[in-house]
Structure 1
Amino acid sequence: MSDAAAIHVTRRLPDSVEARMRELFDTRLNATDTPMTRTELAVAMKTADVLVPTVTDKIDRELIEEAGDRLKLIANFGNGVDHIDVAAAVAKGITVTNTPGVLTEDIADMTLAMILAMPRRLAEGVRIIPDAHDWPGWSPTWMLGRRLSGKQLGIVGMGRIGQAVARRARAFGLAVHYHNRKPVAKRIEQAIGATYWESLDQMLARVDVVTLHTPHTPATYHLLSARRLKLLKPDAYLVNTARGEIIDEDALIARLENNELAGAALDVFEGEPRIDPRWVKLAKQGKVLLMPHMGSATIESRVDMGEKVIVNIRTFLDNHRPPDRVLPSML
């Protein structure tokens, strides 16, 4: 396969990335930025040598099995690959790559912003002045939130992002606890002052804020199940900038509606972009902070993601192993 290989990009990318891809490859772009339909994806996968999808593209086993013989690389624009059946792709001889590492700091920043926003009721506060015709002014007992310093933070998933969140959390006076498949290296634990919990259930029952940083896999689907959500303290907060499917949304909504949880801040949702209307109602009541999947939405991260995609494609076309190859055993 040569650099003249056909590259099909499913969504709009930053201008500098698209310009570089057009310069290097025979690139077909999505000028409208409208998510491709399943039929359009099927056509692209029959005619392209390399597909560059995003999280909005569901590349399942059926589409992969029907793909043309030309398709040899799926160079995902994003870190998560839960929208791609990696096992089916590998079985068909298609290499899958992603863009790890470039989103860490931006998602950690957003996570801390959401952790700060819920206890201090920032989302409610910013609506007061624009919406109120006659704000009565300061009062000693009005819009009271909760202090963050001294609280216990539970991090579920201590990878790159979890560690970046832990470093930031310490600066705000939070005690850091974490659950992971296995403990991180002692030097990392000591550097971020984190306490490991082998039992997720035990950690959930003891912390004041829970933040999720695990990938969506069959093992993490509804990791925070109805049973586990009941373990959270009534005055605890839940933050999710990972994937919506990690939480049982129906169970979480029920606990919030019944005032059995202090609040939640969510940047991702099950079945997005569809949003359960109950979330909107809870947001108006000040019980949740809802963000439109923008945890990694910085110019810098999007350009860095694009550059990683280009490196993976060029390496593959040069008949070398791409640096960010994803295998089923890694998921």
Structure 2
Amino acid sequence: MLFHEIPFINRPSAQLIMEELELPVLLVNEIGGVLGILEAHLPFLKKHFRLITMKEFLENKGYFSAKVKAIYLWWHKPVIDRELLKSLPNLKVIANSGVGMDHLDLKMISGFGVRMANAPHAVLSSTADAGMALLLTAARRLVEGCQIAVSPDTEYFPSNRLGDEVTGATLGIIGMGNIGYKIAQRAKAFEMKILYHNRNRRKEDEELAVGASYCGNIEDLLQQSDFVMLVVNLTPQTYKLIGKKELELMKPTATLINISRGAVVDQEMLLKALQTGVIKGVAMDVTYPEPLPRDHPLLQLKNVLITPHLGCRTTKASYMITEEAVGNILAALRGLPMPSEVFPD
């Protein structure tokens, strides 16, 4: 192909173009902005790939369709649908920037012969930190306290505004996978009693290391816990896992903490439980949809703490996510096993 035939509006030197064309083409939603990959990650990504955005792809579809080998999803963007997959005949792999894959139709993607990967290792510590931060913030009513401390109307600090003790309290963890176990390690440092419910019981030495007790059924955990933390993937089995029955099993003094996915909790039943005192409060980093409509009644309740899906959003974790994604993509393009491959089943 001649230089003048390459459809770039702002063309760099011919040498740079040839170097870029030798790299596999990676499709991303955009660079920077609200939905784009972080600009700080560009030098690392450009060592391995020729990056194109969805805008560039759509504007030069005929040229790029056969060249795109991989897609990097940054916070669920771009949207992967059948139309996009049909337009990318040589697509080999889709790498997701988080752990949850519920935003993807895994069977459909696999049907196109495309492999998939997530980034479970990069997000472990940051997500566990976020879970404990929510627990502590809710227990000690830190948001309310901050509002009082900075309010221009405050004349004194009320001595009757009390929070809940975390030390010695019982934490029930639903979903003791890698992140759940990290939370247990942190809770142990707070001298909490730890219960957990999981599809599979962990090894005895792992339980002993964090002082965790296994609950074979979720009901026992809910009835005993002062704080219940949800750390499960969203699947058909966990959809609305916490509903009316489960909320009513909890202590009226208990707080629910959700760092998994919004749809793991039945929000209508949660709203009623909070309004009627079935449980004391909720702290959640996830809702459905995200964000909630601005007139949603959950946003009006004082016993609700909501953060904007901050789980793994730290500078270090975000870079580790990109590193993990690149490792998975390069492995797939070389026909090797991917460290974090996700299968349709």
Question: Could you say which TM-score interval applies, normalised by the shorter chain?
Answer: 0.7 to 0.9
Matched, 1:316 2:336: no
Q: Is the 8 A contact 1:157 1:179 kept in 2?
A: yes
**Corresponding position of 2:93:** 73
Matched, 1:199 2:199: no
Q: In structure 2, what is the Cα distance between the partners aligned to 1:29 and 1:256?
A: 44
Q: Is the 8 A contact 2:136 2:166 kept in 1?
A: yes
Give TM-score, length-normalised by structure 1.
Answer: 0.88
Q: In structure 1, what is the Cα distance between the partners aligned to 2:62 and 2:292?
A: 25
- Decide whether aligned partners of structure 1 residues 200 and 44 sit closer, same or farther in structure 2, where only a CA change above 3 A counts: farther
- Alignment identity in percent? 30
**Corresponding position of 1:278:** 297
Q: How many residues align?
A: 316
- Decide whether aligned partners of structure 1 residues 58 and 185 sit closer, same or farther in structure 2, where only a CA change above 3 A counts: farther
Structure 1 stretch displaced more, 54-63 or 301-310: 54-63
**Corresponding position of 1:300:** 316
Q: Is the 8 A contact 1:111 1:295 kept in 2?
A: yes
Aligned residue for 2:191, secondary structure, equals: coil
Matched, 1:53 2:73: yes
Matched, 1:6 2:25: yes
Matched, 1:137 2:161: no
Out of 244, 249, 252, the residue aligned to residue 262 of structure 2 is 244
Out of 239, 247, 268, the residue aligned to residue 286 of structure 2 is 268
Aligned residue for 1:49, secondary structure, equals: strand
Deviations along 1:116-167, one digit per CA (max 9) or x if unpaired, are 111211111010022242322353xx21112122211100000111111111
Out of 142, 152, 162, the residue aligned to residue 122 of structure 1 is 142
Q: Which amino acid aligns with 2:153?
A: H
Deviations along 1:12-31, one digit per CA (max 9) or x if unpaired, are 22334222222321111479
Q: 5 Å matches for 1:213-228?
A: 213-228=231-246
Aligned residue for 1:118, secondary structure, equals: helix
Q: In structure 2, what is the Cα distance between the partners aligned to 1:65 and 1:28?
A: 16
**Corresponding position of 2:41:** 17
- Decide whether aligned partners of structure 1 residues 281 and 309 sit closer, same or farther in structure 2, where only a CA change above 3 A counts: same
Q: In structure 1, what is the Cα distance between the partners aligned to 2:166 and 2:210?
A: 18
Q: Is the 8 A contact 1:182 1:198 kept in 2?
A: no
Structure 1 stretch displaced more, 196-205 or 312-321: 312-321
Out of 129, 145, 167, the residue aligned to residue 109 of structure 1 is 129
Rg larger in structure: 2
- Decide whether aligned partners of structure 1 residues 66 and 254 sit closer, same or farther in structure 2, where only a CA change above 3 A counts: farther
Deviations along 1:58-87, one digit per CA (max 9) or x if unpaired, are 756644664431222111121211111112
Out of 181, 185, 188, the residue aligned to residue 206 of structure 2 is 188
Deviations along 1:260-290, one digit per CA (max 9) or x if unpaired, are 21111011111213346212201xx2x0111
